[in-house]
Chain A
Amino acid sequence: MELTTFWFAVIAFLWTGFFVLEGFDFGVGMLLPVLSRDEADRKQVLGTIGPVWDGNEVWLISAVGAMFAAFPAWYAGFLSEFYLPIVLVLVGLIVRGVGLEWRGKVHHASDRTWCDLGITAGSALPAFLWGAVFADLLHDSALAALIGGVFSLTLCLLHGAVFVALKTSGPVRARARRTAMAVSAAALPAGVVALSGIPATGTAVAEWGASPWLWGCALAAMAALAAGTALTWRGRDGWAFTATASSVALTGAAVFSALWPAPLPGLTVAEAASGPYTLGVLTWIGLIALPFVVGYQTWSYWVFRRRLVAEPS
């Protein structure tokens, strides 16, 4: 495999990893007011993502950094093209990050409410906007952007609800399961519409439009979404989370496959790519470092693997 193809795949992997990981903590952030009745509940809900959300966000930083290094023209064209949505994404990530870090350190309940507002709004903004941006990139239509945004928002909500169900116990878990069922009523139809649009059109060259691989990814993503709902209903939290995570991953695979080989209108991967020296040296460093990164991040999930119980009040 030539290096440009390899690096496109790496970037697709990093973006997809970001959506799978930060997808659930966007969902948890948005569902904070829905899943909790009191401060103990809120601590329990946010405790599920507390140790890991910042590490999850680095997947985005890595994806964007890798785009800058490997495909400068893609990085520059993408970010300047979607200027205002990206500004809003950044605003969301800022207020959310600050809210998550500060809510345990403020002294008044009213300040905590501000933090919670930042967490919820700051999770909803990027969850909607990333879907809208990528859908707009594929279809160049406002309606498609809206559908894509609604799908990524509801998918994050579902993914987050399933994650809370997996990581908590007691009333919060029961609420998370009910919420997951309710959200899936919106996520499933949005998913069917958004996902079936991916193989049909796009900036991708024509022959990919008819590709069985794209249809395979899209249909598998829908199936995983449905399976996630069914498994939540059956109370199989771990498998349900596996299913929603797969659905996010397969959606990412479909989107980036559709973007190949022209990730921006009129710009092919080959035109956007850095030189072979840069790609080569980054490949070596990446291949050596990435196993360690995945290793210690997995270890951190292992350390915090237990379900959280509510703090006795």
Chain B
Amino acid sequence: MEALDLARWQFGVTTVYHFLFVPLTIGLGVFVAGLQTAWHRTGSEHYLRLTKFFGKLFLINFAMGVVTGIVQEFQFGMNWSEYSVFVGDVFGAPLALEALLAFFLESTFLGLWIFGWDKLPKRVHLATIWAAVIGSNLSAYFILAANAWMKHPVGYEVTGGPGGGRARMTDLWAVLTNSTALAQVPHVVAAAFIVAGGFVLAVCGYNIRKERRADPDRTVPLRRGAADMWRTPMRAALVMTAIAGAVVAGSGDLSGKLLHEQQPMKLAAAEGLDRDTAGAAFSPVPGIEVPMLLSLLATNDPDAVVRGTEDLQAEFAERFGPGDYRPNVPVVYASFRVMITFGLATVALSVLGLWLTRRRRPVPGWFARACLLALPLPTIAMIAGWLLSEIGRQPWTVQGELLTAASVSPGVSLTEVAVSLAVFTLLYGLLAVAEAVLLVRHVKAGPEPAAPSEPAPPVSGDGTTAAVLQPTLMY
């Protein structure tokens, strides 16, 4: 066991954990903003209650996304100082831009949204949530552009000799419009909308079942167009998930073609292909092979040659010197299939749901129950996608330029990394339980009842003071 192994584990643990919360911040934020917009336009109390209900779930999750994100920003320098020194000139720029252009927007306007319900004009208050979610989505773009650069470095040159080399940025625009980034950003952001859509579906499904169980004699008739608290958000989430599914599929296909050109080793590992193969087959699940499909997916040409891990290994060893340039093939292979299967299953569920609830039909009970699956499925798909993407890039941190083994901090001891790995894993585990309990309690409690009349905030005589508390969203 070396510091390098633990540093990799720490990066894996903290990043996967961070990404449990990020998709909800990205997708659920937009969903809440949409609900508030609907309230603003219709004036319907129903939308206000939903805004506050989902808003609270959003904020519980948002806190975790923020605090686990701070660790990410520091971790490169702590555990990966050689990497940081090598890439900082290029990789640091999108991170700095993320903080300056996205995080300030997100956090400042979210503070205004949470505490501004009775302090801002309605229209301005609505704008604050939109500004915050634009910030969240913008941050996704910058960090994914930085990540894409590790897989397909562009817009740079390397100066300095071996050991003292530095990547120097020559073209920021090239970095920000990297073809890998342009495929990856819609793929990951749309996947985040699927995760968020799945979360909303599960919450709505749970509540529909709860209402039906509480009312077994159907005093509220289940007829077409019957008033239903949860049908509207469920339909909205179904639409969101289905559209995002189309984007994920399209950008995923594009990513596959870019892999063929830019990271053939990852593609070979994802299919478990040993040798360069013309007309390569694709096996969606182990045991079933569709002839020529991989070649078709990778190049649009069913007869094209797809590279194999062993042939690439020989080529890389010749080009970069002796060493093992193959990633962990079984993990990459499995991740690829889990991502595709679980992701497609969620999208299929949403398309099915759209059809079942078409033309104001009520939500079937069994479908409400099936919606509970929409919580874990896309989340697992998302994690698998990241494992495919990042483990598939190994042994490189920067494809073709810097090896992971050469990226780790030389001065940090095994003990130090072990301590921080233990501390973060333990803390994250506890917080995961706390967050899950908190979310479940809030989902079970349901939305606040429609307020008969908002209690007027106490205003002191001189008008220079403000009440501490507004309803529902405050400390």
**Assembly CA distance A63 to B384 (angstroms):** 33
Interface membership of chain B positions 73-99, coded 1 if the CB is closer than 8 angstroms to chain A and 0 otherwise: 110111111101111111111011111
For B81, give its contact among A70, A76, A103, A300 (CB under 8 Å).
A76
A13 to chain B, nearest CB (A): 13
With most chain B CB atoms within 10 A of its CB, the pick from A44, A296, A310 is A296
C-alpha gap A81/B56 in the complex (Å): 40
- Answer whether A65 and B95 are a contact pair too, CB < 8 Å, given A52-B111, A309-B465: yes
Distance between Cα atoms of A296 and B168 in the complex (Å): 33
Q: In which size bucket is the chain B interface?
A: 35 or more
Name the residue in A169, A274, A308, A310 with the highest tally of chain B Cβ atoms < 10 Å from its Cβ: A274
Partner pick for A72 among B87, B99, B423, CB 8 A cutoff: B87
Kindly state whether residue A140 has any CB partner on chain B within 8 Å.
no
B464 at the interface (CB under 8 A from A): yes
Task: Say yes or no: B468 contacts A43, CB within 8 Å.
Answer: yes
Q: How far is the CA of A303 from the CA of B128 in the complex (A)?
A: 12
CA distance A293 to B70 in the complex (A): 19
A54 x B64 contact (CB < 8 A): no
B38 contacts the other chain (CB 8 A)? no
- Rounded to whole Å, the gap between the CB of A16 and the closest CB of chain B is 16
Binds A, one of B24-32, B252-260, B374-382, B411-419: B411-419
B114-122, B212-220, B281-289, B346-354: which lies at the interface: B114-122
Asked if A290 contacts B475 (CB within 8 A), the reply is no
Q: Mark interface residues in B166-193 (1 if CB within 8 Å of A CB, else 0).
A: 1011101000000000000000000000
A residues 276-310 in Cβ contact with B at 8 Å: 277-278, 281-282, 285-286, 289-290, 293, 296-297, 300, 303-304, 306-310
B262 to chain A, nearest CB (A): 23
Chain B residues, Cβ within 8 Å of A106? 438
Which of B92, B159, B442, B464 is most buried by chain A, counting CB atoms within 10 A of its CB? B92
| CB of A205 within 8 Å of the partner chain | no
B79 to chain A minimum Cβ distance, whole angstroms, is 8
Bound together, the chains give a CA A136 to CA B419 distance in angstroms of 21
Taking a contact as CB atoms under 8 Å apart, the answer to whether B63 and A78 are in contact is no
Report whether B409 and A277 are in contact in the complex, using a CB–CB cutoff of 8 Å: no
Cβ-defined contact, B68 with A94, below 8 A: yes
Please judge, given known A-B contacts A55-B107, A68-B95, A306-B464, whether A50 and B77 are in contact too, CB under 8 Å: no
In chain A between 110 and 132, which residues have their CB closer than 8 angstroms to a CB of chain B?
A: none
B356 touches A (CB below 8 Å): no
Chain A residues, Cβ within 8 Å of B78:
79-80, 83, 86-87
Given known pairs A65-B98, A275-B89, A297-B104, the reply for A97 and B66 (CB within 8 Å) is yes
Q: How far is the CA of A140 from the CA of B112 in the complex (A)?
A: 42
Q: Is the CB of A102 within 8 A of B438?
A: yes
Asked if A104 is at the interface of the complex by the 8 Å CB criterion, the answer is yes
Distance in angstroms between the alpha carbons of A312 and B85 in the assembled complex: 56
CB-contacts of B101-150 with A (<8 A): 101, 103-105, 107-112, 114-116, 119-120
Q: Is the CB of A105 within 8 A of B56?
A: yes
User: Scoring B residues 452 to 475 as 1 if CB is less than 8 Å from chain A, else 0, what string do you get?
Assistant: 000000101000111111000111
Among the listed A57, A72, A78, A307, which residue makes an inter-chain contact with B92, where contact means beta carbons less than 8 Å apart? A72
A75 in contact (CB, < 8 A): yes
Chain A interface secondary structure, helix, strand, loop or mixed? helix
Within 8 A of B (CB), among A31-45: 40, 43-44
Given contacts A277-B168, A304-B115, contact A58 B468 (CB under 8 A): no
B431 an interface residue at 8 Å Cβ cutoff? yes
B60 in contact with A102 (CB, 8 Å):
yes
Cα A274 to Cα B89 with chains together (Å): 5
Q: In chain A, what residue has the closest Cβ to B56?
A: A105
Please name all residues of chain A whose beta carbon is closer than 8 Å to the beta carbon of B109 when the two chains form the complex: 296, 300
Select one of A52, A73, A80, A95 contacting B411, CB under 8 A: A80
How far apart are the CA atoms of A103 and B186 in the complex, in Å? Answer: 35
Chain A residues whose CB sits within 8 angstroms of the CB of B473 once the complex forms: 104
Closest chain A CB from B160 CB (angstroms)? 11
Indicate if B441 sits at the interface (CB-CB under 8 A): yes
Q: Which residues of A contact B460 (CB under 8 A)?
A: 169, 309
Q: Which residue of B has the minimal Cβ distance to A40? A: B468
Q: Which chain A residues border B93 with CB–CB below 8 Å?
A: 69, 278, 281-282
Report chain A residues within 8 Å CB of B427. Answer: 91, 94-95
- Measured CB to CB, the nearest residue on chain B to A107 is B441
Q: Which residues on the A side are within 8 Å of B59 (C-beta)?
A: 101, 105
Chain A, residue nearest B131 (CB): A296
Q: Is the CB of A84 within 8 A of B442?
A: no
Q: List 12 A-B contacts (CB under 8 A).
A: A47-B468, A62-B100, A80-B81, A84-B419, A94-B70, A94-B71, A98-B434, A102-B63, A105-B438, A274-B89, A274-B168, A309-B458
7 tightest Cβ-Cβ pairs between the two chains A and B: A72-B88, A79-B77, A69-B92, A101-B63, A76-B81, A68-B92, A76-B84
Interface residues of A, Cβ cutoff 8 Å to B: 40, 43-44, 46-47, 50-55, 57-58, 60-62, 64-66, 68-73, 75-81, 83-84, 86-87, 90-91, 93-95, 97-98, 100-107, 169, 274-275, 277-278, 281-282, 285-286, 289-290, 293, 296-297, 300, 303-304, 306-312
Spell out B's residues near A (CB within 8 Å). Answer: 56, 59-60, 62-64, 66-68, 70-71, 73-74, 76-82, 84-93, 95-101, 103-105, 107-112, 114-116, 119-120, 159, 166, 168-170, 172, 409, 411-412, 416, 419-420, 423-424, 427, 431, 434, 438, 441-442, 445, 458, 460, 464-469, 473-475
Q: Apart from A86-B74, A296-B104, A303-B120, what 7 extra A-B contacts exist at CB < 8 Å?
A: A50-B114, A61-B73, A62-B104, A64-B73, A65-B96, A306-B465, A307-B465
